[in-house]
Amino acid sequence: MSLIYVLDILGTFAFAISGALVASDKKFDLFGVLIIAFVTAVGGGMLRDVLINAHPINWIGDLNYLFVIFAAVVFTFLFKSKIAHLSKTMFLFDTVGISVFTLLGLEKGLSYDLHPIIALIMGMISAVFGGVLRDVLTNKIPLIFQKEIYASACLAGGISYLVLSYVHMPENIIFIISAAIIIIIRVVAVKFELELPKIKDDLFTKS
């Protein structure tokens, strides 16, 4: 079992908990909580695999995802009030998860002979779409469209991965550097509350 697989599982666990927390805040029942935890954790990889025709798709091909999600829901059920005190740990898991999801998704895209730009988008879909699905199913406008900068962090890490691949560095080193870029950008962005620009009505007249 490789380190990257362990990080993938940790990220899945963190994503599932984030989904379970949102769902329980919305007063969903146990089944609803399970579904939201599930789509949050594996929704991104699932969409990627359907789009690139990679069957069996992620959670069908590896049952461990289901077990981890189930464990995350049980964990949330038992320790909900404690998790609030673990928010920094959760944020770390979540951020590691995002970085691993992005790079594994990108690698999967490349392994299917997709154009690097398409593979990059597949990496971002893997990292981002689970949260989008979670928000759509809980009837909210996806957070990531408005404030979260983490798509940009994924983009930067993905580009780093592609660029470093051209200079023939060892794959492990490329993975670690690119994951570090994603993690650092996200941590810095959250710490300093950085946001992406928005389209303003008067941008043209100002410039």
CA atoms of 102 and 7, how far apart (whole Å): 12
Instruction: Give the whole-angstrom CA distance, residue 116 versus residue 143.
Output: 27
Give, as ranges, the residues between 22 and 61 that touch a second copy (CB under 8 A): 23-24, 26-33, 35-36, 46, 50-53, 55-57, 60
- The nearest distance, CB 182 to a second copy, in angstroms, is 15
Stretch that binds a second copy, among 86-94, 100-108, 145-153, 176-184 (CB under 8 A): 145-153
Cβ proximity to a second copy, 75 vs 91, nearer residue: 75
Q: If binding is defined by CB under 8 A, does position 2 make contact with a second copy?
A: no
Six-digit token pair at 87? 């928010």
What is the closest distance, in whole angstroms, from the C-beta atom of residue 185 to a second copy in the complex? 13
We find the least distance from the C-beta atom of residue 114 to a second copy, in angstroms, to be: 7
Say which residues have a Cβ less than 8 Å from residue 102's Cβ, sequence separation at least 6.
123, 124, 126, 127, 154, 157, 158, 182
Residue 141 within binding range of a second copy, rule CB under 8 A: yes
- How many residues touch a second copy under the rule CB under 8 A: the total is 61
Of the pair 52, 104, the CB lying nearest a second copy is at 52
Number of Cβ within 10 Å of residue 148's Cβ equals: 18
Return d(Cα 204, Cα 32) in angstroms, integer: 46
Least distance (Å) between residue 142 CB and a second copy: 6
Q: Is the dihedral of CA 85, 89, 92, 98 positive or negative?
A: negative
Residues in the chain: 207
Contact 75, 24 (CB under 8 A): no
For residue 104, the Cα-to-chain-centroid distance in whole angstroms is 11
What's 144's DSSP letter? G
Identity of the residue, 42 or 174, whose beta carbon is nearer to a second copy in the bound complex? 42
Q: Are 41 and 15 in contact (CB under 8 A)?
A: yes
Stretch 159-198: interaction string toward a second copy, x if CB under 8 A: ------------------------------------xxxx
Task: State which H helix or E strand residue 143 sits in.
Answer: none
**Residues in contact with a second copy by the rule CB under 8 A:** 20, 23-24, 26-33, 35-36, 46, 50-53, 55-57, 60, 63, 66, 76-82, 114-115, 117-118, 121, 132, 136-142, 144-147, 151-152, 195-205
